[in-house]
Amino acid sequence: MLDKVKRNNIKNILSIMLSQGANTKANISFLTGLSNTTVSDCINEVQAINFVSKTGFEKPKGGRRSAIYTINKDYGMFLGITILKDSIFFTLTDSCGSIINSFFYDKGNQTPILSIYNGIEKACEIGTILAIGIGVYGIVDYINQTLISSVYDNWSNVPLKELIERRYRIVTYLDHTSNHLAVWEKNMGIGQNYNNFLWASEKLGSDKLGVVLNGTVLRGLKNMCGQTTKCVEHNTKEAYMAKLQELGQFLDVECIILDTDNAVTSQASDNNIPIHMVNTSPAEMSAAAAVAVELEWFLSILRRVE
């Protein structure tokens, strides 16, 4: 039986394998802080269902060669959906988080829910989808997987997870897009180098920050951690950056990742919290939802194995 600790260990190991690619058990042990025995045991568990495979050996260094393990990218695909103001983006990724296909529908042509259904059906024609991640701007009840309210659509208490799972029989998870992008940065972007950071967006508004502490996205009691409508009010970019610095100091983060249309090289502020500017495309936003749902999907698979 897999207990909660072991499931979390496996999730951390898969997160490292997503971000770092092919790796040895010894290096995964170093990166996660887990013992060699724990890493070996966890990799054996996921190898047993063919999600991870041995792909070769390290070059000889005078002793026994270490086996190299990697996620089986062809195991299946994950679909990320991001609901924006005027459009809905869909991105398919393989099991290693690489983008396979991306497309979008304008909202003006049909209702958002019909666009979501059509997008899922189009994605299913491309290949087998293991899970669907949906990113929204608004208030999300993460525990009950319900969209309480939406910034861009007149939706209230919509059980998106239930609607999609009943219709397509595919595991689905709903979350705020800021949380998805924090997961994306932690696993695939600049955040790989940090365990404590803030993710913020200048171009998408400041209704929520992604908060990562000790390598984990913080949600809070009602998934409202990072909700900034009232505490981050700004009229200029400089005022916004200053407020982010203040929050960053309060949370004792290592850096701030700011999504902006005018991304430049990394900057260090006068307050010594570096600000890394990125320009995330809509396709990457929905890819972030796919990567986030992959980790949740795998935990659900482990629970079934129990």
What proportions of the chain, in percent to the nearest 5, are helix, strand and coil?
A: 40, 30, 35
pLDDT at 229: 55
Order across the sheet with 99-106: list the strands. Answer: 99-106, 87-93, 77-83, 129-136, 171-176
Contact between 137 and 83 under an 8 Å Cβ cutoff? The reply is: yes
What's the chain's average pLDDT? 86
| Helices of type H across the chain | 4-20, 25-32, 36-47, 112-126, 160-168, 177-188, 237-251, 282-305
CATH of 4-71, one of 3.40.50.300, 3.10.20.30, 1.10.10.10, 2.40.50.140: 1.10.10.10
Q: What is the pLDDT of residues 3-38, one digit of tens each?
A: 778 878 888 888 888 888 888 999 999 888 899 999
Which tokens in the block code for residue 97? 């988080």
Answer whether 29's CB lies under 8 Å from 35's CB. Answer: yes
Beta-carbon count within 10 A of 3 CB: 9
Per residue of the chain (306 residues), give pLDDT as tens.
457 788 788 888 888 888 888 889 999 998 888 999 999 998 988 888 888 999 888 876 666 788 899 999 889 999 999 999 889 999 999 999 999 999 999 988 788 999 999 999 999 999 999 999 999 998 999 999 999 998 888 899 999 999 999 999 999 999 999 999 999 999 889 998 899 999 998 876 557 899 999 988 999 888 888 887 555 555 677 778 888 888 899 999 999 999 988 766 555 555 578 989 899 999 999 999 999 999 888 777 665 545
> What is the pLDDT, as a whole number, of residue 210?
92
For domain 77-179+283-305, the CATH architecture is 2-Layer Sandwich (3.30)
Does the pTM exceed 0.85?
yes
3-state secondary structure of 69: strand
pLDDT at 226: 84
- The amino acid present at 206, given as its one-letter code, is S
Beta carbons of 300 and 195 less than 8 angstroms apart = no
Among candidate residues 75, 74, 76, 106, the one with its CA nearest the CA of residue 90: 106
Beta bridge partners of 200: 258
Contact 291, 187 (CB under 8 A): yes
**Is the Cα dihedral 301, 146, 108, 258 positive or negative?**
negative
Type of residue numbered 249: Q
Q: Give the residue extent of every domain in the chain.
A: 4-71, 77-179+283-305, 189-280
20-24 own/partner pairs: CB under 8 Å, 24+ apart: 20/192, 21/70, 21/96, 22/55, 22/68, 22/69, 22/70, 23/68, 23/69, 23/70, 24/58, 24/66, 24/67, 24/68, 24/69
